[in-house]
Structure 1
Amino acid sequence: MLRDNIPQLICPAGSLPALKAAVDNGADAVYFGYKNDTNARNFAGLNFDDKAMREGIRYAQSRSREVLLAINTFAQPGRDADWQRAVDGAAELGVDAVILADVGLLDYAARRHPGLRLHLSVQGSATSYEAVNFAQREFGVRRAVLPRVLTLAQVENVIRNTTVEIEVFGFGSLCVMNEGRCWLSSYATGESPNTVGACSPAKYVKWEKSPGMMSTRLNGILIDRFGDNEPAGYPTLCKGRFEVNGATYYALEEPTSLNVLEILPEIAEIGVAAIKVEGRQRSPTYVAQVTKNMRAALDTLASEGKRYQVKQAWQAELAKVSEGSQATLGAYSRPWR
């Protein structure tokens, strides 16, 4: 039976209502960030000030749920103290773990707060067990979040060769980059999620309405055009439609959502410690809906084991909040390899 090997469900919280939605709908842990550029989801109107953070931590921990604080951008020259203060604040707040990417900051946290549990962020771009074991050996990292570029067999190989807990993404938006190495946003705007904390920073985004059409631009670059009855997505360079050799299409990546429901038994069987839901920039409704259905699937796996089957109701509910019109197993399944 798989009951004892069911991964934790880690859910996003871009706001206090989203955090409560995750906790109320069955998340084992929530992850959130400061309202500043130490956070790779530093969008206007989202994230936590000190008061909201304390309330969120109390709400989750009083219900026996864990709280993970993401300080997952890279410290900028001359501003190391800003990121160090964020780590100090996390320790003072009593979070269950801090998610870090910057090796200098990992070193600082390990030396200054030896009792603080450290997780290696997906922004750390650890795609091999050698990289994971380095983070464990040098900084005492207890868990690593793997980028969404590995096959399931590659994930299994990492797990087989490390004692660090491994966390993988299970639902949400995909990225064509190996996280932590994004250059597209930098190319268009001079800023990236790895530094200022947001892909396609809002100050560079422009919406232009014309008869029958909505155009979206990023720092003057036309990203897409949408008809009146077509949902207009947020303008990120990787998910734009561009004219290439006379044809207009999604030249880099078509909007689609990762959804691992059908391979949950395999994910559990290889020893994945936690499954992460992407979406700190999404609404509390999104968080509630995804958490509820992922929780139901994991609970069914725990009780049914090898008899586990995906229920259409789960897929139908998740489809309502998916990015784009289709779901994918992403890099996990590459039958052509």
Structure 2
Amino acid sequence: MTNHHQPARGEPRVALVTCTALPDLDPDDRLALDPLAARGIAAEAVVWDDPAVDWSGYDLVVLRSPWDYALRRDEFVAWARTVPTLVNPADVVAWNTDKRYLAELSAAGVPTVPTAWVEPGDEWAPPAGTGEYVIKPAVSAGSQDTGRYDLADPEHRELAVAHVRRLSAAGRVTMVQPYLSAVDTAGETALLFLAGPDGLAFSHAIRKGPMLTGPDRGVAELYKEERIDARTATPEQLDTAEKTLAVVPGGTDRLLYARVDLIPGPAGAPVLVELELTEPSLFVGHADGAPDRLAAAIATHLARRS
């Protein structure tokens, strides 16, 4: 819940932006509160669409867990544009909350999961033959409205068509991607970057286990439990992440954080699944010193604005 205390004179105020379902923040984000307090920074959880909030009263507004924005993306982006001290900044939010940015990154030479895009109103049929595919909306948070389909199964083919039609009827762009089977064994690797004195720097990496077990049947489920483990990033993964970040519009110097999600492709080399610059879980609880590094990143951005 938002803390309405008045900070000590001269103490910088930071809003950690969340949603009504998580008024006290995600537990992982709360790990940064003590390191922030130790730096003399007054941080409080604030719900992004609370009309009573005076955003001008904060020295920095940090996006953390506003995970209900997906069905209200236009409203969310419009709100972001009213907050001048927002990090990551509003133009990054506008670009990154629509996963069609993957097409831009692919065109720039970043290895990405092959993706077909289905616009609302377009007819779509499953690819011929067999294989597994993932279907999800271009604007989404977590694994909401996301399903995994085995095209060798006639029922799955029908459910896949129904999924695309459901998204299309809601005016949403659909993504269709081959399911990369390596996620079932190697998992997904998330590389976390945090702002430092010399710009965005690698902080830590984690492994996420597979989450998609079958078709989406139209039941809303925003928060799914994830299996998370610490992981050591490989030089090849770090290189792919750096190549990805190098083509972020406007550069990375403005960013407080970035998360680069990778899966081994068919040949084993890492390919980009998502670039999370808006509201990613940072998994600071899975790496020694990471909560302090997040606090230091926030202090760095405060110093730039002073």
TM normalised by structure 1 equals 0.29
TM-score (norm 2): 0.31
Q: Return the structure number with greater helix share.
A: 1
